[in-house]
C-alpha cells in the first residue's frame, strides 16, 4: 500500500512539474543545456517532447519525429558513404543497425531524456520506443530551428555528443563476420526470387539485463514488399549467444544452407 501511494504521488508530481508554466520553462532550459542547442523557437522543443497521451488535442512529437528520422538517416548515409570499403548492401545493413530503436533510445538515455518527456505516465513507464521517437523528434526540432545553410551540420553536431562516428566504426568491426554470410544469403535469394528479401527475427532471451543471452526463436522472410512474412521452417538458433547479432548470424547461416539444399 505504501509503495502504491508513493507511485501515485510520484505520478502526480511528474504531471505537476510539467504543467506549471514557470517550472516547465526551467525544465526545457535544462534540456537545452543537455542538447547543446539554444532554441530560437522553444515551442519546437516543447512539441518534440510531448506525447499524444499527455494532453488530448495538444501538438505532439510525431510530425517532428517524421522529419528527424529522415535527417538522421541522411547524416548516417553521408558518413557511411565516406568509407569506400563498403558496398551498397553493407551500408544499408550498417545504417539499419544504427537506426534501430534501441540504439537511438540509448542515445536518449545518455542525456536522461525520459525525465523530460511530457507523457500521461511516469518517466519509468515510458517505453524505449517512445524515447527513441522523441530523440528523433528533437533532431527534427533542431533542424527546423536552425538557419537553412547549417541545418544538417547543427543536427550532426548534436549527434556527435554520442560519438556517432566512433559507433559507426565499431559497427563496421563487429559486423565484419556477419556481413559476408548475410550478403551471400541475400544474393542467393535474389538469384532465386529476383527481388530483395526483408528478414525479420523473433528473439528469446534469458538472464539478467546486464548479462542477457539471446536465441532466435523464429526467422521469417518477405519477398514482396506488399506481401506477408513467411516463416522459414526449422531456421532458428540451437545455442544461446551473448548478443542479438551473433544469434542473427547463426540463423542467417542456417537460412543460407537451407536455400543451398
User: Residues 235, 186, 244, CA angle at the centre, nearest 5°?
Assistant: 50
- 62-to-103, 144, 158, 175 alpha-carbon distances in Å: 19, 14, 20, 32
Q: Cell 530551428 maps to which residue?
A: 145
Kindly name the residue from 90, 136, 246, 250 that is annotated as catalytic: 136
- DSSP characters for 125-171? GS-HHHHHHHHHHHHHHHHHHS-GGGHHHHHHHHHGGGTHHHHHHHH
- The backbone torsions φ and ψ at residue 120, rounded to the nearest 5 degrees and listed phi first, read -80, -10
Q: How far is it, in rounded angstroms, from Cα 4 to Cα 96?
A: 40
Q: Cell 512529437 maps to which residue?
A: 61
- For the question of residue 46 being annotated catalytic, the response is no
H/E segment holding residue 206: strand 198-206
Exposed / middle / buried, residue 97 (Cβ in 10 Å: 0-12, 13-18, 19+): middle
Kindly name the residue from 69, 90, 156, 186 that is annotated as catalytic: 69
- For the question of residue 191 being annotated catalytic, the response is no
Q: How far is it, in rounded angstroms, from Cα 199 to Cα 219?
A: 7
- Catalytic residue ranges: 69, 136
Amino acid at each position: 500500500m505504501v509503495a502504491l501511494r508513493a507511485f501515485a504521488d510520484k505520478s502526480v508530481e511528474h504531471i505537476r512539474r510539467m504543467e506549471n508554466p514557470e517550472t516547465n520553462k526551467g525544465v526545457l532550459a535544462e534540456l537545452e543545456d543537455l542538447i547543446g542547442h539554444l532554441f530560437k523557437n522553444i515551442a519546437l522543443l516543447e512539441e518534440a517532447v510531448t506525447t499524444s497521451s499527455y494532453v488530448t488535442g495538444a501538438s505532439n512529437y510525431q510530425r517532428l519525429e517524421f522529419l528527424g528520422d529522415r535527417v538522421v538517416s541522411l547524416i548516417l548515409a553521408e558518413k557511411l558513404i565516406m568509407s569506400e570499403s563498403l558496398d551498397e548492401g553493407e551500408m544499408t545493413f550498417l545504417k539499419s543497425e544504427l537506426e534501430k530503436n534501441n540504439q537511438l533510445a540509448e542515445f536518449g538515455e545518455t542525456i536522461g531524456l525520459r525525465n523530460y518527456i511530457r507523457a500521461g505516465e511516469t518517466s519509468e513507464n515510458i517505453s524505449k520506443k517512445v524515447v527513441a521517437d522523441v530523440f528523433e523528434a528533437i533532431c527534427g526540432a533542431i533542424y527546423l530551428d536552425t538557419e537553412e545553410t547549417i541545418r544538417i551540420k547543427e543536427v550532426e553536431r548534436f549527434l556527435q555528443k554520442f560519438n556517432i562516428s566512433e559507433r559507426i566504426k565499431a559497427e563496421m568491426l563487429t559486423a565484419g563476420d556477419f556481413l559476408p554470410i548475410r550478403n551471400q544469403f541475400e544474393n542467393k535469394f535474389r538469384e532465386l526470387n529476383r527481388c530483395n528479401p526483408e528478414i525479420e527475427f523473433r528473439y528469446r532471451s534469458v538472464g539478467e539485463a546486464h548479462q542477457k543471452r539471446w536465441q532466435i526463436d523464429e526467422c521469417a522472410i518477405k519477398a514482396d514488399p506488399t506481401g506477408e512474412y513467411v516463416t522459414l521452417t526449422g531456421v532458428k538458433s540451437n545455442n544461446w549467444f551473448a548478443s542479438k547479432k551473433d544469434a542473427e548470424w547463426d540463423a542467417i547461416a542456417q537460412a543460407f544452407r537451407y536455400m543451398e539444399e
